[in-house]
A = this chain, B = another copy of it.
C-alpha cells in the first residue's frame, strides 16, 4: 500500500513513521532508535534522521539533542489544550465557510451530511469515521484559507487516535450526526456566528466524550488510547 507514496526515502519514512504513531503502533514515549528504524525499513540512518527532524517540527516526535528521539508524550493537560485549539480553529473555519463557501461547496457539504445520516443509522462506525474526516475536510476547504486548513488538518491528525475510539460508543454516532446537522444548517444559511458556535459545541462534546473514555481506561492517557494495538502492516 505504499506504492510510490513519497518520492524520496525520507518522505516515505516520515509518512510511515507518522502513520505508525498516529495509529498507535508506536506508543507515545517509546524511543525511536535511529539504527533500529533504519534496519526496520532497510535504509541507512541518514534518511531516518531527516524524517525524524521533520516529524519533530510538526510535533509528533520529540527530538532531544544528543539524547535521541521519542514519540511525543501527550499528557492529559496537553490533550486538553489540543482539543481546545482544534475546537477553536474548526469553529473559525466553520465561520469563514459560512461566509465564503460557493453554492457548489454548500451543496456537496449538504449531500455528504445526508449520506452520513445513513451510515449513522446503519451503525457503521468505521465508514462513518472515514466520512467524518471528509466532512470536516470539506469545511476546512470551504474556509478558503490554506494556512488555517493545514493547521486544522494537522491537529485533527494528531488527535485521530483519541477521536476514533469514541465513535464506537453506542449513541455517539447519532449524536455526532445531529451536531453536524446544526453546523451544516448554519453554514448553508450563511449564519457565521451560529456556525462558529455549533462547531465549537460539537468538538467540545467530542472532547468530553474522549475524556470519559480515557478516565474509564484508568489514566492510560500517556500510553495512548490503544489498549495494546500493535502495528498492522
Contact = CB atoms under 8 A, between A and B. Distances in A.
User: SS class of chain A's interface: helix, strand, loop or mixed?
Assistant: helix
Interface stretch (A4-12, A36-44, A102-110): A4-12
A152 to B, nearest CB: 10
Kindly report how many copies of this chain are found in the complex they form together.
Answer: 2
A163 interface: no
A85 B53 contact: no
Interface stretch (A27-35, A141-149, A175-183): A141-149
Interface residues of A, number: 30
Contacts of A155: 147
A78 B145 CA distance: 9
Contacts of A56: 54
Given A50-B50, A53-B53, A54-B56, A82 B147 contact: yes
5 contacts: A50-B50, A84-B96, A84-B145, A89-B89, A92-B92
What 6 A-B pairs come out closest when comparing CB atoms?
A57-B57, A85-B147, A7-B65, A88-B92, A85-B148, A81-B145
